[in-house]
Amino acid sequence: MTQQAHEVAAQAAHVQQQIHEQVTPAHDPTAYIQHHLHPLQVGEGFWTFNLDTIFIGMFAAALIMLLAYLAGRRLNSDVPTGLQNVLESVVEFVDQQIRDTFTSRPSPMVGPVACTVFMWVFLMNAMDMLPVDLLPTLAGMVGVEHLKVVPTSDPHTTFAMSLVVFSMVVFYNIKFKGFSGYIKQFLFHPFGKWLVPVNIMMTLVEELAKPLSLALRLFGNMFAGELVFLLIATLPPWVLWVPGSLWAIFHILIITLQAFIFMVLTVMYFEIAHAEADSSH
């Protein structure tokens, strides 16, 4: 623990030093990239807060809330206009996914959670489309030394969502299968009653892989995307715009796709949790 703390402190000092030397992509690419991927932290140990992640996440959430509030305040069921149209298409899209996936009647919270996941992840991912140096430079002007712009490239964000989803999955499992039904699933699935220890291991891995893969997929994609942007930023300015624009265009796809995948998998896990315990075991 102490050794780790020392390491962190040393690293921080190193980074601090680099900032004072005005890091630019040209003369030290490694430091430049490290600087951009380092979050703005306060606190120590467990009580460390990645302020950039939290604030930009909150900013995205607040933006969604504002839009939702503005549109939700005066809904017109006859002639939808402007903002309502946009939000309607999002809600209908998510609703359609739920209808297509669910064989039983979904619980009332499935829709809101899926919708929130989709919009929030999309908006946070979309922060990636801002030029990599824009916000950090602006922040630097007001004395903030580090700024990691994309909250979803911080595993805390992705794990926060996947853990919430996972706990809801467990809740729905117990609600619809009963506690014993849920336990039975661990004992007798997938190999029947003669291989109980193996079953427990398999099902445990299967269940734990859900939140893990959910969180790591999004984090990996967004982190890698940001990294590629940073790498591109280290190229000489006269050639930078070619790969930069290409990757940005491709990244539009990734941003949307990752938000979509997170949403669809959330819905799918909920659906599996909703299914009745099969009576054959």
Partner 1 sequence: MNVTATLLGQMATFLVLIAFISKFLWGPLTQVLEDRKKRIADGLEAAERAHQERELAKKRAVEIIKEARDAAAVLIDQAQSRARVVVEEAQEEARGEAERLLVAAKTEIGKEVHRAKEDLRNRVATLAIAGAAQILRAEIDVERHKQLLDRIAATI
Residues identified as active-site:
213, 217, 221
Decide if residue 75 touches partner 1 (CB under 8 A). yes
CB of 107 to partner 1, least distance (A): 12
SS3 category, 224: helix
**23 vs 11: CA distance, rounded Å:** 15
**273 vs 145: CA distance, rounded Å:** 45
Decide if residue 238 touches partner 1 (CB under 8 A). no
**68 vs 216: CA distance, rounded Å:** 29
Decide if residue 178 touches partner 1 (CB under 8 A). no
Is the Cβ–Cβ distance between 52 and 135 less than 8 Å? no
- Beta carbon nearer to partner 1, 26 or 208: 208
Decide if residue 2 touches partner 1 (CB under 8 A). no
Decide if residue 153 touches partner 1 (CB under 8 A). no
Instruction: Tell me how many residues contact partner 1 (CB under 8 A).
Output: 46
Report the interhelical angle of 155-188 vs 196-233 (nearest 10°): 160
- Amino acid identity, residue 115? C
CB of 216 to partner 1, least distance (A): 12
Residues 98-127 that bind partner 1 (CB under 8 A): 108-109, 111-113, 115-116, 119-120
**157 vs 208: CA distance, rounded Å:** 18
Q: How many CB atoms lie within 10 A of CB 275?
A: 14
**73 vs 276: CA distance, rounded Å:** 38
Decide if residue 156 touches partner 1 (CB under 8 A). yes
Write out the H or E segment, with its range, that includes residue 41: strand 41-42
Decide if residue 161 touches partner 1 (CB under 8 A). yes
Residues 25-44 that bind partner 1 (CB under 8 A): 43
Which listed range, 11-19, 21-29, 161-169, 244-252, lies at the site for partner 1 (CB under 8 A)? 161-169
Give contact residues for partner 1 (rule: CB under 8 A): 43, 45-50, 53-54, 57-58, 61, 64-65, 68-69, 71-72, 75-78, 87-88, 91-92, 95, 108-109, 111-113, 115-116, 119-120, 151, 154-157, 159-161, 163-164
